[in-house]
Amino acid sequence: MAQLRPLTIPLRLICLLSFCGDGLSQPDYQRLKTQFLQAYGFPHLVTWNNLVKLGLLRMKGGLSQSTSSSNLSQEGGKLGLMGQTVAMGLGLAKSAGNFQQVVKKLGLVPPELRNLAEPTNPGYVFNGAYIPLCCRLVEEIFKLGPRSASLSPGTPLAEAVKLLPGDTVHNYTQADTTNKTTLILFLGGYTLAEVAAFRWLQTVTGHQFILAGTNNINGNTLVADVERL
């Protein structure tokens, strides 16, 4: 922010810090918000509030809904199509704060990766620092096999799913063991890092993954879309 780099860069870093830390402390939140607005201008307060409403930017203990809503309505006006996205994001905002628990239960931080040229886990897409959640969920389902029909309480997968935002719909039918093609549908968008992770999983399992989604996204496009609305 001090260097006035494109605002997508600091916003991405602030959102990442907030999400991975299960929220920002109140002093950090207020300081970063003040510095951001002073650097890029107060019209971008709407962008900041949109990220808050979507649950991508939050403060430990939460922000009062009345405060966030009043600020957004006073400074941003009507959101138009963004309103539907914000409404869906409210569930994420209310359920946020479990990231560290999910990481621990599903082992999303892999052991040290010594050779990126010959990866031993899908975390290589982030230089061995993090395994994409969607890829780990599919891995766990494959490990359970037919037992996934019940998602027995107490298993890491069942406990982790409880911590994820939104509803879990589990409709199991007896799988054809000869069919090794799996369709994975992303509602809201997927990243190229997730695609690369599934390519690795496809190689080691012999399964063919067909990835479909409503959009291809990355950090820059996400912030840019929020900024324009």
Distances (CA, A) of 143 to 61, 70, 91, 157, 193: 36, 47, 29, 10, 22
> How high does pLDDT run on average in the chain?
80
**What would the pLDDT profile of 175-229 be if each residue is shown by its tens digit?**
666 778 889 999 888 999 999 999 999 999 888 999 999 999 999 998 888 888 7
Q: Compute the distance between CA of residue 151 and CA of residue 159 in angstroms, rounded to an integer.
A: 9
Rounded to a whole number, what is the largest CA-CA distance in the chain?
60
Domain boundary among 97, 126, 146: 97
**What would the pLDDT profile of 12-45 be if each residue is shown by its tens digit?**
999 999 988 889 999 999 999 999 999 999 999 9
Q: Are residues 183 and 200 in the same domain?
A: yes
Q: Compute the distance between CA of residue 66 and CA of residue 63 in angstroms, rounded to an integer.
A: 9
Q: Are residues 114 and 173 in the same domain?
A: yes
Q: Are residues 134 and 63 in the same domain?
A: no
> Domain total for the chain?
2
The model carries a pTM of: 0.76
Q: Are residues 162 and 133 in the same domain?
A: yes
Q: Are residues 120 and 205 in the same domain?
A: yes
Domain boundary among 76, 97, 118: 97
Expressed as residue numbers, the domain containing 131 is 99-219
What CATH number has the domain bearing residue 213? 3.40.50.1910
Q: Are residues 183 and 113 in the same domain?
A: yes
DSSP 61-128: T---HHHHHHHHHHHH---TTHHHHHHHHHHHHHH-S-HHHHHHHHT-SPSP-S-TTS-SSGGGGGTT
Per-residue DSSP letter, 213: E
Residues whose CB is less than 8 angstroms from the CB of residue 68 and which lie 6 or more positions away in sequence, other chains included: 49, 52, 53
Domain boundary among 63, 97, 131: 97
